[in-house]
Amino acid sequence: MSGGGAPAEVRVTLPAWVGEVVDWARPYPDDEARMRLAIALARENVERGTGGPFGAAVFEDGTGRLVSVGVNRVVPLHNCTLHAEMVAFMLAQAAAGSHTLGGDGRPAHALATSCDPCAMCLGATLWSGVRRVLCGATRDDAALLRFDEGPVFASSWTYLRRRGLAVRRGVLRDEAVRVFDRYRALGGAVYNG
């Protein structure tokens, strides 16, 4: 970068291990299978030291076809927006060749995320075009690690439902919380508290 200007490009990458962990060919037929993948991504991200304790995946809701995955990449890629959900949305929309996963002629999509989304990710969920959201751990669980999830209120969830998004929270919560426990035990960085 010469002349002090901002870079002209931002690159978002998944860790190399994702290809070892994710089975792209298999369908994920139910909410629990989808959440297990999101939690597995979060766990591997912690164990391999490639980011924070959060994982997400986007699926075609009817078929269970995996469309994209995301893990938290905030610290390694120096970008506060690279939460697992945001990465999964970016990659899903790139694969779809569209700024939205919703709309005419598109299959309904679901997001599985290992923790309730923060304020930024909850907003992006609305605009992403997904029709369903599955959450594992709660914002209170994240707060115990000192992660600040921002201004998300009971009314935020009500708003999403009124806009037509189905929301299921607490899916495999205990499994998701164990990833947080491991992150704490390893001394993982809290980068927004």
Structure tokens at 11: 């690159």
Using only C-alpha atoms, the chain has a radius of gyration, in whole angstroms, of 16
First to last CA, the chain: 31
Which residues, including other chains, have CB under 8 Å from residue 96's CB and lie 6 or more apart?
67, 106
- Confirm if 134 and 85 have CB atoms less than 8 A apart: no
Could you say which of 44, 60, 85, 175 is catalytic? 85
Does the annotation count 149 as an active-site position? no
Q: State the catalytic residues.
A: 85
